[in-house]
């Protein structure tokens, strides 16, 4: 109990930061308590120092100067987004450096003070209850299970802490009234790093100011311990987005729907109000937008989309979450179902280089745009015929006359084969094809679209080593399962043509004929078979022709003429001298005669073998 005179003298009290004291009153029931009335309001979250001096007790003992510190805190009401999920550990094993325990880190990005008592933390199945703790502006807090608290200094206990799934789950944060403050739905892709998605690393938020945070704003921790619980994230970067959004894909859906996907979240209002132009004309019946910051919009048209026809779309005045505004353009076409013969296997690599893997090349022989999604590739399995099926799980649109390489390692193919056409690769696992012989199956909707029972004996007998050498189809419209329609890829182009026209491409075109007077030439100036005479007859006049001679390894040794105007019939000769003005060596050769129309279309093409003879 204190003396009323000294205890109620306001001069004996001081407050820092300074707020005036207008009265001091001893409490009636409890004379050891004094009520101070201040001249102004205290500021929430501020630490104050109260000083007293010369306060006497009832016997007259006077105190010296005394002080005490306190923080004035009043819990405020949060709004969605005031407190966000900033980091989480869903797969703590194998351990990298942190305890082998799950946690969720939250961050207060507002200027408010919150008491976390009875807030809720949950996944897509259960919720736990957060215990008493204060969260100041700009502060991080680790939420974890009761038994985990000793392992994370400064952490907050969550009774019935939800168990987070390794491969994907929801994380939901609610206040004590049940208001959802933040919610994320993660997958293992959120690591954005295949070297870290097996566990031991937390997933961290990059930019807490991102107004529509999605998978692109999260990544695996770069900290040596595998995470930064309670600290600034290792991937922290508050650089604002100044790049306008772009279209990532446009997908037509039968019969009259179009799905447009973007590389980031958009402002839904700008997307709903965008000026949309489509050519050839399609008129919009309905627009479907989901969420405040969608990455996709779907249109329904009054008209049906014409199969395989190419359309263009333009969206004007769309904005992303950061209000970057732009006009975007894209192209689309509606894929059509494939029938037998539309898609063929055009090249097979079944005996890869060391470090490589098998691959197949497909070719679209039709005039349709065809989606390869749900196509399957298999090999021969004893007892069932078709086994080890691998399925294309993503959309891949193959245009008329286009090639695509199917396999799991595009980089290796590009490095080892100089004739590779970039951008013509569908990454997926294939069944293993034997180096000696096997059967390649391609199926769609359960129907066998291709069956090729190959053998390494299909390679030319002149090939020393088949490792890394592909088999190429000669005629795309020829019989698939016929060894005479396949040949070893040419050495001069690197033994394969992934994604492009085969080096052994030679479609059957019958619109004329050519022949040799004799299929033996002996260019030794003895007056006997010194010249190769070629006779031809075409079915129409005015054709442009090329005549080329190759040796038995596919190397061009003589281009007798190129783009020469032909008569309906005629003849010409070769004297046995190659392009280097050297007499051709003894051996077998192949002559290729091609004739084209005025528009460049192939009218006639044919090959014939002949022999260069000589004295040994």
The contacts found for 113-119 with CB under 8 angstroms, 24 or more apart, are 113/44, 113/45, 113/73, 113/74, 113/75, 113/76, 113/137, 114/75, 114/76, 114/78, 114/82, 114/83, 114/175, 115/73, 115/75, 116/141, 116/156, 117/176, 118/176, 119/173, 119/174, 119/175, 119/176
Contact 220, 204 (CB under 8 A): yes
Q: Give pLDDT, residue 309.
A: 94
* Contact of 296 with 259, CB cutoff 8 Å: yes
What pLDDT digit, counting tens, does each position of 428-472 carry?
999 999 999 999 999 999 999 999 999 999 998 888 899 999 999
| In the predicted structure, residue 44 carries a pLDDT above the cut 70 | yes
Q: Contacts for 57-62 with beta carbons within 8 Å, 24 or more apart?
A: 57/1, 57/2, 57/3, 58/1, 58/2, 58/3, 60/3, 62/6
End-to-end CA distance of the chain: 132
Instruction: Give the model's pLDDT for residue 616.
Output: 67
Question: Do 31 and 51 form a contact (C-beta atoms < 8 A)?
Answer: no
pLDDT given for residue 122 in this prediction: 97
Residue 563 pLDDT exceeds 70: yes
**Predicted pLDDT at 614:** 87
Q: Is the pLDDT of residue 69 over 70?
A: yes
Q: What is the structure's pLDDT at 193? A: 95
Predicted confidence at residue 478, as pLDDT, reads 82
Residue 431 near residue 387 (C-beta atoms within 8 A): yes
DSSP reduced 3-state for 191:
helix
pLDDT of residue 172: 97
Identify the weakest region by mean pLDDT among 222-236, 273-287, 406-420, 544-558.
Answer: 544-558
Predicted TM-score (pTM) of this structure = 0.61
Give the pLDDT confidence score for residue 389 in this predicted structure.
94
Given a cut of 70, whether residue 487 has pLDDT beyond it is yes
pLDDT recorded at residue 603 = 85
Structure confidence at residue 474 (pLDDT) = 87
Q: What is the pLDDT of residue 566?
A: 85
Would you say 181 and 166 are in contact if contact means Cβ atoms under 8 Å apart? no
Confidence of residue 409 (pLDDT cuts 50, 70, 90): very high
Tens digit of each residue's pLDDT (9 = 90 or more) over 120-134? 999 999 999 999 999
- Is a pLDDT exceeding 80 seen at residue 509? no
Q: What is the pLDDT of residue 271?
A: 96
- Residues 254-266 have a mean pLDDT of 94
Task: Quickly count: other Cβ atoms within 10 Å of residue 172's Cβ.
Answer: 19
Report the share of the chain in percent with pLDDT over 70: 99
Cis peptide bond prior to 94, omega within 30° of 0: yes
Maximum CA pair distance of the chain?
147
b or e along 201-217 (b: 16 or more beta carbons within 10 Å of the residue's beta carbon)? bbbbbbbbebebbeebb
Grouping H, G, I as helix, E, B as strand and the rest as coil, residue 217 is helix
Q: What is the pLDDT of residues 603-614, one digit of tens each?
A: 888 889 999 998
pLDDT in tens, 141-182: 999 999 999 999 999 999 999 999 999 999 999 999 999 999
pLDDT at 98: 97
What would the pLDDT profile of 197-210 be if each residue is shown by its tens digit? 999 999 999 999 99
Distance of CA 50 to the CA centre of its chain: 61
Give dist(CA 210, CA 137) in Å, integer. 18
- Under a CB-based contact definition with an 8 Å cutoff, are residues 352 and 468 in contact? yes
Angstrom CA distances, 87 to 115, 208, 253, stand at 20, 11, 38
Judged against a pLDDT cut of 80, whether residue 358 lies above it is answered with yes
Which has the minimum average pLDDT: 27-41, 63-77, 374-388? Answer: 374-388
Asked whether 106 and 135 are in contact (CB, 8 A), the reply is: yes
Of residues 594, 588, 591, the one with CA closest to residue 607? 591
For the chain, give the percent of residues with pLDDT over 90.
83
Query: Across the chain, what does the average pLDDT equal?
Result: 93
pLDDT of residue 270: 95
């Amino acid at each position: 109990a204190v003396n009323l005179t000294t205890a109620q003298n306001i001069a004996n009290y001081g407050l820092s930061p300074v707020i005036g004291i207008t009265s001091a009153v001893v409490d009636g029931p409890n004379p050891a308590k004094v009520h101070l009335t201040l001249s102004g309001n205290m500021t929430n979250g501020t630490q104050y120092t109260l000083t007293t001096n010369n306060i006497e007790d009832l016997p007259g003992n006077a105190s010296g100067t005394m002080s005490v510190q306190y923080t004035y805190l009043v819990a405020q009401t949060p709004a969605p987004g005031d407190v966000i999920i900033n980091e989480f550990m869903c797969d703590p094993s194998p351990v990298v450096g942190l305890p082998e325990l799950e946690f969720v880190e939250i961050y207060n990005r507002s200027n408010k003070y919150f008491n976390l008592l009875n807030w809720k933390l949950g996944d897509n199945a259960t919720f736990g209850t957060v215990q008493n703790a204060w969260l100041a502006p700009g502060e991080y807090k680790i939420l974890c299970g009761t038994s985990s608290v000793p392992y994370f200094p400064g952490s907050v206990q969550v009774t019935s802490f939800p168990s987070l799934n390794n491969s994907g789950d929801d994380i939901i944060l609610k206040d004590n009234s049940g208001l959802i403050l933040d919610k994320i739905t993660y997958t293992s892709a959120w690591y954005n790093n295949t070297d870290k998605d097996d566990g031991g690393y937390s997933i961290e938020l990059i930019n807490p100011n991102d107004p529509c945070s999605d998978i692109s704003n999260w990544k695996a921790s770069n900290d040596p311990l595998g995470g930064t619980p309670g600290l600034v994230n290792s991937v922290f970067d508050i650089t604002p987005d100044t790049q306008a959004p772009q279209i990532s894909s446009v997908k037509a859906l039968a019969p009259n729907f179009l799905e447009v996907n973007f590389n980031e979240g958009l402002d839904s209002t700008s997307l709903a109000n965008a000026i949309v132009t489509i050519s050839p004309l399609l008129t919009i019946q309905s627009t479907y937008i989901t969420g405040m910051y969608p990455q996709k919009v779907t249109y329904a048209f009054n008209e049906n989309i014409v199969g395989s026809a190419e359309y263009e779309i333009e969206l004007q005045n769309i904005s992303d979450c950061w209000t970057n505004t732009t006009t975007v353009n894209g192209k689309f076409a509606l894929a059509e179902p494939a029938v037998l013969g539309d898609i063929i296997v055009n090249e097979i690599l079944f005996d890869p280089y060391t470090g490589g893997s098998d691959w197949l090349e497909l070719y679209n022989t039709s005039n349709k745009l065809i989606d390869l999604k749900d196509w399957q590739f298999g090999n021969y399995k004893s007892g069932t015929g078709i086994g080890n099926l691998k399925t294309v799980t993503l959309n891949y649109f193959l245009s008329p006359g286009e090639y695509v390489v199917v396999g799991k390692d595009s980089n290796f193919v590009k490095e080892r084969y100089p004739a590779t056409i970039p951008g013509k690769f569908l990454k997926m696992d294939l069944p293993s094809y034997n180096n000696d012989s096997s059967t390649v199956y391609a199926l769609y909707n359960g129907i066998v679209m291709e069956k090729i029972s190959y053998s390494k004996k299909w390679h030319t007998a002149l090939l020393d080593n088949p490792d890394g050498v592909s088999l190429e189809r000669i005629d795309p419209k020829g019989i698939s399962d016929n060894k005479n329609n396949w040949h070893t890829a040419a050495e001069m182009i690197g033994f394969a043509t992934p994604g492009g026209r085969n080096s052994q491409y030679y479609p059957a075109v019958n619109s004329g004929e050519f022949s040799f007077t004799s299929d033996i030439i002996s260019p030794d100036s003895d007056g006997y078979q010194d010249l190769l005479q070629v006779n031809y007859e075409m079915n129409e006049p005015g054709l442009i022709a090329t005549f080329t001679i190759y040796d038995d390894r596919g190397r061009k040794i003589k281009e007798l003429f190129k783009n020469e105007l032909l008569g309906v019939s005629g003849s010409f000769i070769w004297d046995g001298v190659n392009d280097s003005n050297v007499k051709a060596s003894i051996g077998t050769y192949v002559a290729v005669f091609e004739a084209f129309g005025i528009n460049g279309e192939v009218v006639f093409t044919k090959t014939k073998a002949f022999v260069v003879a000589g004295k040994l």
